[in-house]
């Protein structure tokens, strides 16, 4: 199979992929388990009507293989709900502006092994539990003083569904439930004991009927009016801002940094850049 892209497009991709400030979450390059650690969000999230956006959630993503951060998925949550009612967050009619908004995570030692296998991810939630805008992520960081093991599904390259209902403090227990279920399946036992086992884990409630990442589906209602003055945050918005946009079911993002090559990329070209990078990495490994 031939894989062909234009030289101009490749140069534009390289400009974006080489730009160090493309991550919407700024986190330390090394985080120790059991230690409260601050990270910040600095991005404009666009997805139309913001009238039902209420909180954002912070997750941990892990990967056995060394991968680019864009290929990580949510495994469990570290911050269940952090309010959007914050002086560093501006809510316009059609986008939400984070201006160095700080949040704190404390990663349990049991989530997995130490190493450069982890990212932080964040998602804005609406009042019914649905997602507003694209998933935001940090660069890959090294986790230290961890005591956990990889789960069978992780070693196979899969992610357990239900991160919105899985606190990271209970993730190790959920992985054990999955390991047992996987072994039972190999032994010909197709029972559905996994759900009850996982939901018996501490700080875990996965609704198997949920449309939204395993959390219970609620009604879409207007959130309580914010009593914090957020006008100053919106006033700091400039054209030289990182933006994240979710189009239909495919999240995509672009970094707007003036008139350079990165800003000339179309929204739809960003995921293709990631694909180009993945193919290039695969070709390099085969050489």
Note the pLDDT tens digit of each residue in 168-189.
Answer: 999 999 999 999 987 876 666 6
Shared domain check, 264 and 252? no
pLDDT exceeds cutoff 60 at 261: no
- Nearest CA to 126 out of 61, 45, 60, 202 is that of 45
Shared domain check, 283 and 191? no
Shared domain check, 122 and 134? yes
SS3 125: strand
pLDDT exceeds cutoff 50 at 136: yes
Looking at 72-76, 161-165, 232-236, which range is the least confident one?
232-236
Give the pLDDT confidence of 149-167 residue by residue, as tens digits: 999 999 998 889 899 999 9
Shared domain check, 48 and 86? yes
SS3 264: helix
- Nearest CA to 193 out of 183, 202, 203 is that of 183
Shared domain check, 158 and 210? yes
Binning pLDDT at 50, 70 and 90, where does residue 75 land? very high
Shared domain check, 171 and 63? yes
How many CB atoms sit inside 10 A of residue 19's CB?
Answer: 14
Q: The domain containing residue 186 runs over which residues?
A: 23-256
Encoded tokens for 245: 């946009």
- pTM equals 0.76
**C-alpha–C-alpha distance, residues 30 and 51, integer Å:** 37
């Amino acid at each position: 199979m031939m894989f062909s892209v234009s030289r101009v497009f490749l140069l534009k991709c390289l400009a974006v992929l080489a730009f160090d400030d493309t991550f919407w979450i700024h986190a330390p390059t090394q985080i120790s388990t059991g230690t409260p650690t601050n990270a910040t969000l600095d991005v404009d999230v666009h997805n139309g009507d913001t009238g039902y956006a209420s909180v954002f959630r912070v997750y941990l993503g892990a990967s056995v293989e060394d991968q680019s951060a864009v290929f990580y998925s949510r495994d469990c949550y570290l911050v269940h709900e952090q309010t959007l009612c914050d002086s560093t967050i501006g809510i316009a009619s059609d986008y939400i502006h984070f201006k160095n908004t700080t949040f704190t995570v404390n990663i349990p030692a049991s989530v997995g092994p130490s190493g450069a296998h982890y990212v932080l991810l964040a998602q804005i939630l609406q009042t019914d539990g649905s997602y507003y805008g694209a998933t935001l992520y940090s660069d890959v960081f090294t986790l230290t003083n961890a005591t956990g093991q990889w789960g069978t599904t992780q070693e196979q390259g899969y992610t357990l569904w239900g991160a919105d209902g899985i606190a990271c403090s209970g993730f190790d227990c959920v992985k054990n439930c999955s390991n047992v279920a996987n072994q039972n399946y190999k032994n010909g036992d197709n029972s559905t004991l996994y759900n009850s086992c996982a939901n018996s884990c501490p700080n875990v409630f996965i609704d198997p009927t949920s449309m939204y990442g395993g959390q219970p589906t609620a009604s879409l209602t207007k959130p309580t009016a914010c009593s914090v003055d957020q006008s100053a945050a919106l006033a700091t918005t400039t054209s030289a801002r990182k933006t994240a946009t979710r189009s239909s079911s495919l999240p995509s993002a672009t970094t707007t940094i003036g008139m350079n090559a990165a800003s000339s990329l179309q929204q739809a070209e960003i995921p293709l850049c990631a694909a180009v990078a993945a193919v290039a990495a695969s070709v390099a490994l085969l050489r």
